[in-house]
Amino acid sequence: MVDSTTTDYASMGIATTASLTTPKVSTTGNKTTLDQSDFLALMTAQLKNQDPLSPVDNTQMVAQMAQFSSVAGISQMNTTLTNLATKLGGSTAADAMSYVGKTVLVQGTTAYARSDGSLDGAVELDKDATQVTVSIADANGGTVRQLQLGATKAGSANWQWDGKDEDGNAVTNGPFTISVAAANANTDIAAASLVWAPVESVSLPSSGSPVLKVVGVGDVKPADVRSAT
């Protein structure tokens, strides 16, 4: 039996919950998620088909609008982040290419002297040390000089060698192998050798980060470069 009230509303062109039908959902294509347009279409359908005697509560409407804004904002943020990642990837490749032909300070043990025979490097310490020793060996493996840096704070400490042995004679049979040792009183401290070496080329893999080809050191990530000249 049809309610007379419903019939009266229908004659005036007013839809009620009794006269509404379940909205149809398009299944065209392989779409399995709802996007912004679907969200807006559902909200519009809800407003269009609401019961005039019991309209959507203002609080509910504000909540739905907030949800729509959140969905739109997240979608826009994802697009922005994707574009940013693409640009950063391009910048990383360009930055790596800029190292070619330069000399970089990186972790390593093989060092090449300058044209005047001198050599620079650095020591990287985990903790403060009371004594740091830098040993320099020639191409034959013999130690030609030891540098005593004394008390050194944690972090990076530079050293210079004039290219001469303990007797003041010039040493020319490089490249040289650098080793470092550090201690605080009688306790050994972790220490790494940093050397200056030229960047020969850059490898740009199809996936992953660029890699610098450093003479005497091998493959080095741009992020591992301490300094460059």
Q: Which helix (H) or strand (E) holds 89?
A: helix 58-97
Angle at 122 between CA 193 and CA 184, to 5 degrees: 75
1 bridge partner residues = none
Same domain assignment for residues 118 and 223:
yes
Residues in the chain: 229
Same domain assignment for residues 125 and 70:
no
User: What does the pLDDT look like over 53-70, one tens digit per residue?
Assistant: 666 666 766 676 677 667
The C-alpha atoms of residue 43 and residue 50 are separated, in whole angstroms, by: 11
Which residue range is the domain that position 71 belongs to? 4-17+35-96
Report helix, strand or coil for 174. Answer: coil
Nearest-Å Rg of the Cα atoms of the chain is 36
Q: Tell whether 26 is covered by a domain.
A: no
Could you give phi then psi for residue 51, rounded to 5 degrees? -75, 120
Are the C-beta atoms of 124 and 192 separated by less than 8 Å?
yes
Of residues 144 and 186, the one with the higher pLDDT is 144
192 bridge partner residues = 124
User: What does the pLDDT look like over 192-221, one tens digit per residue?
Assistant: 999 999 999 998 887 778 889 999 899 998
Q: Tell whether 28 is covered by a domain.
A: no
> How many structural domains is the chain composed of?
2
pLDDT at 158: 95
pTM across the whole model = 0.58
User: What does the pLDDT look like over 16-45, one tens digit per residue?
Assistant: 544 444 445 555 556 666 666 776 777 777
